[in-house]
Amino acid sequence: MAWIALTPLLIAVINASPAPGRGRLRAFVLGLIAGIVYFAGTVYWTGGVMAQYGGLSVPVAALIAGLLVAYLALFPAFFALTLHAATRTFGSRALLLAPALWTATEYGRLTIFGGFPWVLLGYSQVTVLPVAQLAAVTGVFGLSWLVAMVSAAAAHAALARDTRRWVPLAATLAGVAVIAVAGQSRLSDNRLTTAGRPLRVGLIQGNVQQDDKWAPALAGDIFNRYLRLTRQAVAQGAQLVIWPESATPFYFGPDPETETLRTLARESGVSMLIGSDQWERPRAGPPKIYNAAFMIGRDGSTGGVYRKVHLVPFGEFVPMKDVLFFAGPLVQAVSDFSPGSDVATLPIPDGSISTAICYEVVYPSLIRDGVLAGSELLTTITNDAWFGRSSAPWQHFAMASMRAIEEGRYLVRAANTGVSGMVDPYGRVRLASDLFVEGAWVVGARLLDDRTIYSRVGDLAAWISVALLVVAVLPLRAAGRRGRV
């Protein structure tokens, strides 16, 4: 459905009233309605999270979730408004700009106010592996462009009345076919699955319910559960063991449990990546709390620390606290974490890895920064217990899978309640755990140092889209000064 999802909106926008004021308003409203449907159907779970864990009443939680949906819907609304305005300069040829305009607004969702790049259009193809290989060249934004292009070509075929109406659609479908054939060839080559150096990774899923996570009476049982699962992974031959985000029911460092972890690493001879909150008291100012990941070496020493850079709004901090005065319980319930300064790679014997904590994995450039710094394996640790049995954990896992294709790296994921798993460098899911089960799985990954085109050029497709948006808007501004628009 994604390939033609934008076609009705495009046709409606092109057919909007030619009168400047009325046409612009109609196009904006059409885009807004499309955006509300889009995001109400995909981020609906935010209301339940804030009601259950943010201490808000259901009406207030629904209001805040509605405000989020309305904000995200502004981006499709701006897309529709810009496309309609472009038709006054370029006529029906403005449809050729539609993929770039759509992709530019998606990039806006990534960057404006810290970004919320959830379920971009290109993610719809993450399981269509021949097509998804395009991400190794263009990233997810190139896939968004491609999918939107099919909708635009279909809209042109529906609107045009000349004998050449099918030419753009035929050319676009031919392009998709060429991309799919090239992608299948990349899949068949499969060389990244035998390149590099093998590494057996143990993924620990403790299945700790969110309501139990910080209960003092359960802290000992939770810690012992993770120790038991870790020993199971070691017995299966794990060389690196990964715990989920904030897995430890204590602050890593001063607590005696930290020494237990160091002893376990020394006795088992494995490296351990541990998700744990970090408390730091600077010489001046109040103490700071970081959502962090610690690498414990085989000798029990701390080999490195990564502090989460992109914090989750309404989960780890509350943006615009003064404006959201009616969400007082949420402000009190949410921990006030501090962001880390930059991406850091973490050492393992014979290599280095990078990690993304929870929500960070939806930022392509952040994962790319880790690869540029020398990461040979992508890891991500998360606690998706907040989401319950909604579609959110599966959306999150799908978006993480796209990072493996973009960077040409194995990606391993440890989640508190699922989905834990492994994705190979071509996006093939080799393991995906069930939700809300306890388990320890050992997977065979590889440390790779090859670089994809995307890892070299980054989000060039998004920047080209932004440039085309500017090119499309400049004539409109000039026309507006002359009173034509």
User: Whose structure tokens read 């160091």?
Assistant: 262
Helix axes 140-159, 460-481, angle to 10 degrees: 50
Q: What distance in Å separates the CA atoms of residue 346 and residue 304, rounded to the nearest whole number? A: 5
Cα distances (angstroms) measured from residue 415 to each of 356, 377, 421, 438: 12, 17, 8, 10
Return the active site residues.
245, 308, 358
The answer to whether residues 438 and 205 touch, using CB atoms and an 8 Å cutoff, is yes
